[in-house]
Amino acid sequence: MIWEELTHQLESLSKENLTRNRRTLESSCGSHAVVNGQSMLAFCSNDYLGLASHPVLANAVCESAHQWGTGSGGSHVVSGHMSPHDQLEKALAHFVGAERALFYSTGYMANVGVVPTLVGRGDAVFADRLNHASLIDAVQLSRADHRRYAHCDMAQLEKMLSESTAKRKLILSDAVFSMDGDLAPINELFELAEKYDAWLVLDDAHGFGVLGKEGRGSLNHCKLPFHPRLVYIGTLGKAAGVSGAFIAASSTVIEWLMQRSRSYIFTTATSPVMASALLASLKLIEQGDDRRRHLQTLIARLSDGLDNTRWKLLPSFTAIQPVMVGENDAVLKVSAKLAERGIWVPAIRPPTVPKGSARLRISLSAAHTDEHVEQLVHALKEIK
């Protein structure tokens, strides 16, 4: 029968320790989350600034729901684009220093929406090997040639660019890598984009709100101003504490996306309530230097705490602090031992990361205290 194959595939996933399991949370996920009636110290959320449970955002949601209703009722290009969406786009563009911005429902949709709009058959995308899955899918949707260079290897990227005969070229990279936490060589990427007349598309899902002056993101951190060849994607479900994403670029690119980007056009606009919450969040991000400073203190504390232990953190100065373990069963065991101690750190396995590089992905948040990090360090030291 046609479904039997699926049963076998599920069995083989389980044998390889690759089954994904989800926990149902009985509370919001701040520094702690309640699971099965137990409060766990949580290092698993991308709510890097601790804004997802902020009362100012909750109030913005309630007020907005009364004024605008809960649903947009239409696509942005028909009847779903309301004042909160419009204000948000203008505020986001201004915040990151771009001419214009376009608000998408999720980062996944922004990514699959932008790449096929800029390149197609006969063109080539030059992509970092560790790019996020949504960027990989975006290239496949575009039908452009997918050329992948070793992680942050600028020499290999330049060789590929110089040998390419593609009509249009696009360089595509995470700005902060989602499972490693390191920053892409953004200035070098831009120089190569200039030299070979390519687009540069950067996904700053994990840098927006965290890096740069007042949280303006990775481009700001690297002091790279906007340019007509630069397309920036920020997501709003992580540091911004809500959901959604935006693309910031030149007016021409944004206008073209509005005309052609299928995941922007053929979907219902996100609820105006979310846009209102995001407007409130943007102000908190801008005023969030204390939160960002605290986050940096926690990062330093974790790295000092694990120094000279068997747990090796990958080099990262962002909120994503991965500990490399290697094998799938080993990482599952460590994660389970932490859970026994009331600590939640997710085990990340292939295909999310390359085979043999399973890891603990510790996400720090400004919602954590020094003591929380100490607790984690202590627990890791105890585990054999």
Binding residues for substrate: 20, 132, 352
d(CA 316, CA 88): 31
271 is catalytic: no
Figure out which of the listed residues 205, 219, 280, 306 binds ligand PMP, where binding follows CB under 6 A.
205
Paired tokens of 190: 């831009």
User: Closest distance between ligand PMP and the C-beta of residue 177, in Å?
Assistant: 7
238 is catalytic: yes
Under the binding rule (CB under 6 A), the answer on residue 321 touching ligand PMP is: no
164 is catalytic: no
Size of the site for ligand PMP (CB under 6 A): 13
Under the binding rule (CB under 6 A), the answer on residue 203 touching ligand PMP is: yes
Figure out which of the listed residues 220, 235, 270, 357 binds ligand PMP, where binding follows CB under 6 A.
235
Q: In this complex, which beta carbon is closest to ligand PMP, that of residue 103 or of residue 311?
A: 103
Query: Which residue, 363, 309, 355, 307, is CA-closest to 331?
Result: 355
Residues 53-112 that bind ligand PMP (CB under 6 A): 106-108, 111
Figure out which of the listed residues 89, 123, 128, 174 binds ligand PMP, where binding follows CB under 6 A.
174
Under the binding rule (CB under 6 A), the answer on residue 173 touching ligand PMP is: no
Under the binding rule (CB under 6 A), the answer on residue 346 touching ligand PMP is: no
Under the binding rule (CB under 6 A), the answer on residue 305 touching ligand PMP is: no
Catalytic residue among 31, 178, 263, 276: 178
Under the binding rule (CB under 6 A), the answer on residue 363 touching ligand PMP is: no
User: Closest distance between ligand PMP and the C-beta of residue 213, in Å?
Assistant: 22
Residues involved in catalysis: 178, 206, 238
Site residues (CB under 6 A) for ligand PMP?
106-108, 111, 132, 134, 174, 178, 203, 205, 235, 237, 245
